[in-house]
Structure 1
Amino acid sequence: MSGQPETEQRIREAAFRALVKHGYADLSIKDIGDELGQNPSLIYHYFDSKDELLLSMLDVFVEIFLGQRAEEPITDAETELRRFVGQILHPEPAQVEAVMSAPPSDIETAIARVFVELWAHATWDDDFRSKTTAVEDGLRDAVAHIIRAGIEREQFRPVDPEQTADHLLFLLKQGIHTQTTTDRADAVDQVQTIVDEILADISRES
């Protein structure tokens, strides 16, 4: 089908925006079609169901936060790790626009809401659980890769890269979840403070 990849991407972007507005439980194919500006029947030419579409949309997370990171050389591990943490806690419009042509205006809130909605649905759905596990494994591997590079360049102490990566990702996930689901507006700032303490602890210069 001509233009299939481009149309699929537009549908994913519309689903992203619709999910932010409606939440998983209330989201319908019609809502996505309205956001897309097309008859909802078009979506079924590309995706069999809402869940298949949202599962494919999780690849957007991978592109936003990972991209080609694993292939990039690391010269300053601490700077790279701070950049990675910053991208997750405070994603910038330009960062998202690199993989989405029409992201929501408040991209930080949008990504946090989509994260909470899809990860919560993984509680009940094995397919979603498998996909969110793969996304988290990719994030963990990326963080461990940065930490390992820092150890090799003697910027970091010889800590366990995988365990430290797990620690950081648990913090990031909890901060996003808490800020999105409670009135703790300072949750992400508190996570950043703890991350700074971890970086100070593993730094050779501390």
Structure 2
Amino acid sequence: MTGHPETERRIREAAFRALVEHGYADLSMTDIGDELGQNPSLIYHYFDSKDDLLLSMLEVFVELFMDGQAEREFDDPTEELRAFVDQILHPEPMHAERIVSGPPSETEAAVSRLFVELWGHAQWDPDFREKTTAVESRLHETLAETIRNGIEREHFRPVDPELTADHILFVLKQGVHTHTTTNRDDAIDRAETLIDEIIDDISRA
């Protein structure tokens, strides 16, 4: 893969928009090339395959998401937990633009579909499964570390940080998946309500 960061970024942007439009199964390098406005042969100078490109896109997406969370300063672990949840359930266009310029207008739906498409493909592809496992591990550890910090500072009760992080992450994933794959328009709101109840339960009165 030839190194040229700006071109690689533009290709990842095109792949993001094309994936949201076509879905993984129907996505081709031609679709990505059309979105890019270039002959698809250009893409092969930077990425070996469609999967190589999508894995790279996922890696960059998650890095920027995690960096964005790390850059924010929180005095209250409860506020930090809620902000983390909000970033996943309600990604704003300004956040998505750190990853792609001119993201789809329905940013929340687009980002949700991105993850559901790639996680769905991970059922059949060990390379994708390895990457999605690593992503989930990072999300889980961020949640668990925030909860541990809250316990140490006596904002939270002495709960099991690992188990509580599992609980929150499970609800997050289910909310995104249900929002993307059903007509349950209330899926995101329901997930947010459930997580609010978890946070309220572990918080000291």
Q: TM-score range by the shorter chain?
A: over 0.9
Equivalents in 1 of 2:60, 2:3: separation in Å? 19
Note if 1:91 corresponds to 2:91: yes
Residue 200 of structure 2 aligns with an amino acid whose one-letter code is A
Q: Which residue of 1 aligns with 2:148?
A: 148
Equivalents in 1 of 2:72, 2:89: separation in Å? 21
Equivalents in 1 of 2:102, 2:4: separation in Å? 18
Q: Which residue of 1 aligns with 2:77?
A: 77
Equivalents in 2 of 1:168, 1:196: separation in Å? 10
Instruction: Sort the Cα spacing of 1:169 and 1:183 in 2 relative to 1 into closer, same or farther, 3 A.
Output: same
Q: Which residue of 1 aligns with 2:57?
A: 57
Equivalents in 1 of 2:137, 2:29: separation in Å? 30
Q: Which residue of 2 aligns with 1:164?
A: 164
How many pairs are equivalent?
A: 205
Instruction: Sort the Cα spacing of 1:35 and 1:187 in 2 relative to 1 into closer, same or farther, 3 A.
Output: same
Equivalents in 2 of 1:15, 1:145: separation in Å? 33
Instruction: Sort the Cα spacing of 1:94 and 1:72 in 2 relative to 1 into closer, same or farther, 3 A.
Output: closer
Please give the residue correspondences for 1:121-200 in structure 2 after superposition, counting only pairs within 5 Å.
121-200=121-200
* Identical-residue share of aligned pairs (%): 68
Q: Is the 8 A contact 2:13 2:99 kept in 1?
A: no
Q: Which residue of 2 aligns with 1:110?
A: 110
CA offset at residue 64 of structure 1?
Answer: 4.1
Q: Which residue of 1 aligns with 2:11?
A: 11
Equivalents in 2 of 1:41, 1:171: separation in Å? 41
Instruction: Sort the Cα spacing of 1:68 and 1:196 in 2 relative to 1 into closer, same or farther, 3 A.
Output: closer
TM-score (norm 2): 0.94
Q: What do you get for the CA RMSD once the two structures are aligned?
A: 1.7
Equivalents in 2 of 1:128, 1:9: separation in Å? 20
Return 5+ residue gaps in structure 2 as ranges. Answer: none
- Of 118-127 and 162-171, more deviation after overlay is shown by 162-171
Equivalents in 2 of 1:164, 1:180: separation in Å? 25
Return 5+ residue gaps in structure 1 as ranges. Answer: none
Residue 192 of structure 1 aligns with an amino acid whose one-letter code is E
SS of 1:67's equivalent in the other structure is helix
CA offset at residue 74 of structure 1?
Answer: 4.3
Q: Is the 8 A contact 2:93 2:107 kept in 1?
A: yes
SS of 2:141's equivalent in the other structure is helix
Moved over 4 A (4+): 70-74
Q: Which residue of 2 aligns with 1:30?
A: 30
Equivalents in 2 of 1:109, 1:64: separation in Å? 19
Instruction: Sort the Cα spacing of 1:161 and 1:73 in 2 relative to 1 into closer, same or farther, 3 A.
Output: farther
